[in-house]
Structures are given as C-alpha cells and as structure tokens.
Amino acid sequence: MGELLDKINKENDIKNIDENEYRRLAREIREFIINNVTSTGGHLASNLGAVELTMALHLCCDLPKDKIIFDVGHQCYTHKLLTGRKEQFKTLRKFNGISGFPRISESDCDVFDTGHSSNSLSLALGLCNAREIKKEDYKVFAVIGDGALSGGMAFEALNNAARLKSNLVIVINDNQMSISKNVGGMANYLGKIRTNKKYNNLKDSVENAFAHLPGGDQLTDKVRGAKDIIKRVFISGMLFEDMGLTYIGPINGHNVPQMVSAFNSALNMNEPVIVHVCTKKGKGYKPAEKNPRKYHGVAAGSGGTKIETYSDVVGSTLIEMAEEDERIVGITAAMPDGTGLTPFMKKFPDRSFDVGIEEEHAVTFAAGLARGGLRPVVAIYSTFFQRAYDQMISDVCLQKLPVVFCFDRSGIVGADGSTHQGIFDTSFLKSMPGLTIMAPADKFEMKEMLKKAVEIGGPVAIKYPRGEAIVSSRFRDEEIEVGRCQVYGDSAAGGAGSNKKVLIVAVGNMVHRALRVRDELTKSNIDAVVINARFIKPMDEETILSEGKKYRNIVTLEEGVLTGGFGEEVNSLFKDIDG
C-alpha cells in the first residue's frame, strides 16, 4: 500500500515510475486522498476525477520550469502529492497548514493563488505573451473544467487566444459537472462532441489508413480542408475551430498514455490547442461516483447530525413566499445545493434559474426579470458576488430595481482559505446607491428579513454566515422595521464617563456572541448594553448615537475588514464627541 507513491518525494519523480505501473499509482493516490480528505475535510469528488489527468500533465512537464494553471484549483490535490507535499496533507485546510488550492507560498510548482473559476485561460495567455516578449522557453498548460468554461471570462480569453503566435495547451476537464450538474449551451455543445462517435471513428479510420500509405503525411495535409467539412456535417458549429483554435478530442481522461500522447501532439504545434479530456467526477469511490454533488466537498469526519443552515432557511422561506406571491423567482450560479435553493427549484421549476458559473449574468438577468414585473431573489456566495460588482451598481441599483441579493457565506468561512472569505461585502456594498443592507442575528430574523426585502420594492442585500442557523427567542420581541436596530439591556443604567458601562454594537451572527459577552461582563458587575444593528444601510444613527453618548466604552463586532466596514462608520459618528 502506497509503495509507488512513497517513491514520489519531489516534482518530476513521477517520471521514474514505469508506464505499466500508472494504474497502480492512480489507485494509491485515490486511496491516499480518500483517507485524508474524509479526515481533514476538503474537495473530494473533483480531486478523484482528476488523478490520471494530473499524472499525464506532470509526465509532459519539467516542473517548476513549465507551468500548469488549474482553474479554480480545488482539484489540485494530486498535483500537491506529485510535488512533494504528501507529509503535509494531515494539515490540509488547517491554520498554518497547506491550502486546498494552489498557493505560490507553498511551492514553486504552484503558478497562481487560485480559488475562483474561469480565469485560467486569461492567466495562461498572459504567461505565454510574457514568454514571447522575454524570449523564454517553457510550456504552459491551462486546465479548465467544462463548468468553468461557461464563465464569461473564459470566453473573453478564447476570443483572444487565436492571436497567440506560440504554443498554449488548453485542457478541458469535462466531467459534466461543476458543483452541480452543468447547464446551458456550452454543456450541451460539449455533450454533442463527447457522444459523437461517428465523427471520431471516421477520423481515426481515415488517419490510420493514410498512415500505412506512402506519403501518408502529405495526404493527411491535403485532406485537412475536407476533414473540416466532415466535422461540420457530423458536429454542427465546431465552435473552437471556428474561433481559430485547433481541437483534439475527446480523450479518455483516465487513460494516462493516451493523454500523454495527445498533450505531446498539442505541444508540437506553434499555436493554442484545445485538448478535450473526459473524466468521471468521484472516480474510484463509489459513493462519490453515484452522488458527486454530495461529495464535491466533505467536512472533517464526514458525518454527524444534519443541521439547519441559514441557506436552508432561505430555501424554505422562499417556498413559503412563492406559494403566496407568483412574482417570486429564484436564481443561483451553479450552486443550488450550497445556497439552499434545490427544494425551491423542485417545487417551482418554472420560476427557478441555475445560470451556471455566470455571476455577472445572474445579476443582470435578475434586473431584466425585475423590470418585467417579477421579484427575483439571487442567492450566491459572498466571495463570488464580487464578480458582479459592476452589474449590481449599473444594472440594478442605479435602476432602483427590486432585486434581492442573498449573500450566502458572508463573513469568515474558514477552511477554504483567502479566496473564499466573505469579508469584503460590507465594504463594497455600502457605496452602492439606494441599496438596503440587512444582517440577521438568527433564523427568525433571516425569515423576516427575506420577506421584508421583497416588500421594500428596491434593491436589497441580505448578509448571512455559513453554518447553523441560530435559534433564539431574544430577537422576536418586535417587528423588523427598516433602518431600525434593537437594544438589549438597561440603557438607562449607563452614565457618561462611567468605566463600568459598555455598549456593544454587533452585526448579524456576531449579535449572539455580543450577548454572551454581556452575560460574562454581568458576572463581573460590569453593566453592558448590546445593540443588534439589523440594518447596515440605512444605519440607525439616531439610536446608536443616543445610546453611545452614555458610555465611555463602545465596541463594534462584525466579521469583515476594517476599511469601509460597519465599525468604521460607527466610529465616524462619534468623531466630534469628546471622551
């Protein structure tokens, strides 16, 4: 067990493994990943599907001289194993441990700190052009999934790729999945290529026949134009080649020698080449093969009691609302499970839209729905909403359209690392014109805020954290009023200049922490009052100022960056007050 993997202690060691042992090495890598990820947590199905693909890439590269760019990067575990990081896997996704994504700080073999999708082609084009300008010589591979290929940025890069005058190998890792099953035109297009045996069988037959004839190479060149015609007969569109890109495939993504041959053929061309590789997400682990959505990411320990998350509350509340209001529609970007919208989509398929990995489109699409008289609710992770900043301002806020933005996983999300933290949303949302920003303190407020958001009739953002929805009776004593906060404690007990009086102003999931702090302070005979902000914008300046003037000590609690944050704005309210 692990004998072959034990021989790989640094980059390029895989080249010392005999070709007849590739299948065995792949099994050892899968066993290692399964054993470790089910313990530490991490992305499982995507990594199991990319084992042989990564092996083939490493066999064709001289690392770290050559460059492999993994789109998103959550499928990089085999890459990390093959570059000498096996012993560090017990620290995967832990503080000061190795990341679940490529990180330059970990290895010279990691080209970029990736984490978001659809950017690998643009990065690769930049590297290739830098290589040309500096007259350097190294290979560049960009690995992009079929789900990420649907992102607008990937199309922008493809549009520019044909202008490149040197080699770039674009590997499409086609497993028919992003996190959930892929949707849209690109998924259908790749499906047609994937399943079209007629053209591929004919192509192989013609090329094999010519190979055995005198002057076969010349004959192959002469019929290239005819072959293009044949392609158009069997596969309508030929999108990639019509864009000026050479296409090779589809290739079996679990056959290492076949991929190595295809990659070497692509490297021999002085131009961008697309190699279409078909893999199975979750390969080698039956539960993940049967349910790749469930095993896309697994928590440490892989088990435990099912909890109700804020995402679940959003989904169930939307169903309640949609049953009473036919204008309600739900939108997500390739994450119906993660955002809790799956039950809503099953209940109201005609009022549900999974647009794929296309956050910018999701927002402007919602603007069109709102302009048409509907009430769209867009549920996307906070970190991915960043990509739709322009669309939120220009297409929704400036138009004063009634779109509700559900910022899932707002705040600190933990193990996924820097690219996934939802800590910037308050800062970039506050400047958006006419946008109301809410942050619920518990399950009850989450439900009520979602209902209130639709009633407001303008653009609204609701920020809520990853994980269990807090259930508390403390937040149910009054109706949610737009722009008004809640005060907990005997504010009359405060006194100006008193060192034993503390005002804590908290946002969202930090409110219950603030109340626990208040309880601890009370044990030490320190009186404290807690304000549940509820609304970041418009802020309840009147109440915060009124309460704040009574105390020497004012503390703000939020999950976010200081610059542009809620605390910074509270501080500015008191800048002209002495003491």
Question: Which whole number is the average pLDDT over 515-544?
Answer: 92
Q: Determine contact, residues 395/449, Cβ cutoff 8 Å.
A: no
Q: pLDDT by residue (tens digit) across 68-106?
A: 999 988 889 999 999 999 998 888 888 888 888 889 999
Classify strands 42-43 and 297-298 as parallel, antiparallel or unpaired: antiparallel
Q: How confident is the model at residue 578 (pLDDT cuts 50, 70, 90)?
A: low
Question: Which one from 93, 387, 443, 550 is the annotated catalytic residue?
Answer: 387
Cα dihedral across residues 376, 382, 387, 392: positive or negative: positive
Give percent of the chain above pLDDT 70: 84
Q: Determine contact, residues 152/118, Cβ cutoff 8 Å.
A: yes
Q: pLDDT by residue (tens digit) across 105-138?
A: 999 999 999 888 888 999 999 999 999 999 999 9
For tokens 């403390």, what's the residue? 474
Cα(142)–Cα(69) distance, integer angstroms: 5
| Residue 281 designated active-site | yes
Q: How confident is the model at residue 495 (pLDDT cuts 50, 70, 90)?
A: very low
Cα(409)–Cα(412) distance, integer angstroms: 8
Rounded to the nearest integer, the mean pLDDT of the chain is 86
By residue count, the chain amounts to 579
- Closest residue by Cα to residue 33 from 85, 105, 73: 85
Q: pLDDT by residue (tens digit) across 242-257?
A: 778 889 988 999 999 9
Higher pLDDT, 233 or 308: 308
- Closest residue by Cα to residue 142 from 277, 40, 32: 277
Question: Which one from 359, 445, 448, 558 is the annotated catalytic residue?
Answer: 359
pLDDT at 420: 83
Q: Determine contact, residues 311/335, Cβ cutoff 8 Å.
A: no
pLDDT at 496: 47
Q: How confident is the model at residue 232 (pLDDT cuts 50, 70, 90)?
A: very low
Q: How confident is the model at residue 357 (pLDDT cuts 50, 70, 90)?
A: confident
Q: How confident is the model at residue 241 (pLDDT cuts 50, 70, 90)?
A: confident
Question: Which one from 85, 139, 231, 281 is the annotated catalytic residue?
Answer: 281
Poorest-pLDDT segment among 107-111, 382-386, 493-497, 568-572 = 493-497
pLDDT at 287: 79
**Could you tell me which residues are beta bridge partners of residue 297?**
43
| Residue 387 designated active-site | yes
pLDDT at 37: 87
Classify strands 553-557 and 352-354 as parallel, antiparallel or unpaired: unpaired
* Helices 22-40, 256-267: crossing angle, 10 deg rounding: 100
Cα(31)–Cα(29) distance, integer angstroms: 5
